[in-house]
Amino acid sequence: MDQALEDIKGASPWSDAWKRLLKNSLAVFGLIVLIVMILAVIVGPSIIEWTTGYTYDLVPAQHELVKAMPPSISHPFGTDDLGRDLLARVLQGGRISLMVGIISTFVSLVVGVSYGAIAGYVGGKMDNLMMRIVDIIYAIPYMLIVIVLLAVFGGPNTKALVTWIPQIVAGSLIFILGILLAVLIYRRMLAGFSSTAGLATQYPVKGLLIVILASALLGIIYLSSLAIGSTSLGPSLADWYGTNLSQGVSQIFLLFFALGLVSWLTMARVVRGQILSLKNQEFVIAAKATGVSPFMIIFRHLIPNALGPVIVYATLTVPAVMLTEAFLSYLGLGVQAPYASWGSLSFDGVKNLAIFPWQLIFPGVTMALTLFSLNFLGDGIRDALDPQTRKF
């Protein structure tokens, strides 16, 4: 009988969810379209270049008055105003659109998950403070600020932003360490007041030592940041940046920054809620009892268990971010020529809508198809990971 029991393989929740996902035909459709799309944008431009010689920024030397050609065998998607092959441009644009979506989502994952997990695990006043900050940022009409940010720092002005990178990094490090230090001192003080054998009598040396060490560390970082500010690290970084990266690329980095800045908020809320419901369960108490550090409890025990909603939310963040990117590029604030994204291609297409409609239809439909698949996949994953919602 024992043998028989061992033969039955327990299905893990993940393989179970995978099976449920495969039964959902719309989600599978989304997955397949997405895989094909990703393969196409990765290898497509190179294949087109080998076979026909067209690239996304190749302007053919022709002398006709109208350079925009309707779709034909040599140009399946037609050409744009300058005679550039639209298929190559749509694929190149897909690279940037998908990259923006994936990287910004990754940024929001890292920041949001860590932030939410720490807030949920620490709890109490700290949690309250951290979530209040999220609430405040949430209420800000960030689109206005993103538009202003991209408009004033776009183009040549990005260089100024690069010059300040060392100071910004040092400044935020000091800010984070300062908060940690304040919390540490606050906790020590609480411990000192609340217990009869408090801080002063119980750990007279250790408590003082921690505070002194932390202050010293803060001082060192502050001084070194001053030193960094006075050295030529920032300007030389800007020089390197100016010579090695074109303006189109700089705008893309600014986009990552602007989109990553706001997309982590909901993620932090989702993760915090999950952690709150998990942190008092037996396995966490067991881990605490065996002396696992809070850091390890959060990242080894709590986060893997909260992964379901995180994956669902991440899948739905990708299309949202891509839509925002397209919107900004459409306004002329995002990706700049000669680079293209689906948003900027649509913008170019709209200008000639009445005469050359294919210039809008191909990039627009490609983008809509991708977003459609992503949304269906996200819905499918949610249903698969959370079987309860399927009963409806």
Segment lying near another protein (by CB under 8 A), choices 15-23, 107-115, 142-150, 213-221? 142-150
CA distance to 64, 71, 88, 99, 378, per residue, from 47 (Å) = 27, 18, 10, 20, 30
Of 78, 166, 364, 380, the one binding another protein (CB under 8 A) is 364
DSSP-derived letter for residue 369 is: H
Q: Binder to another protein among 22, 36, 47, 152 (CB under 8 A)? A: 152
**Least spacing, CB of residue 383 vs another protein, in Å:** 12
Total site size for another protein, rule CB under 8 A? 42
Residues 316 and 94: their CA atoms lie apart, in Å, by 18
- Residue among 190, 232, 230 nearest 207 (CA): 190
Q: Residue 9 carries which DSSP code? A: P
Phi then psi dihedrals of residue 55, to 5 deg: -125, 175
Residue matched to tokens 């209040």: 132
Shorter beta-carbon distance to another protein: residue 118 or 385:
385
Q: Which of 129, 140, 190, 217 binds another protein (CB under 8 A)?
A: 140
Q: Binding of another protein at residue 172 (CB under 8 A)? A: no
| Residues 63-92 as x/- pattern, contact with another protein by CB under 8 A | ------------------------------
Least Å distance, CB 196 to another protein, is 35
> Nearest distance from residue 201's CB to another protein, in Å?
40
Residues 295-324 that bind another protein (CB under 8 A): 319, 323
Binding positions for another protein, 369-388, rule CB under 8 A? 369, 371-372, 375-376, 379
Token couple for 51 = 């076979």
* 3-class DSSP assignment, residue 327: helix
Instruction: Give the whole-angstrom CA distance, residue 340 versus residue 81.
Output: 14
* Site track 323-352 with another protein (rule: CB under 8 A), x = hit: x--xx--xx-----------x--xx-xx--
DSSP string, 262-273: HHHHHHHHHHHH
Peptide bond into 338 cis (omega under 30): yes
Q: Is 78 left (phi over 0), alpha (psi -120 to 50) or beta?
A: left
Give the interface with another protein as residue ranges (CB under 8 A).
Answer: 136, 139-141, 143-145, 147-149, 151-153, 157, 160, 319, 323, 326-327, 330-331, 343, 346-347, 349-350, 353-354, 357, 360-361, 364-365, 367-369, 371-372, 375-376, 379, 392
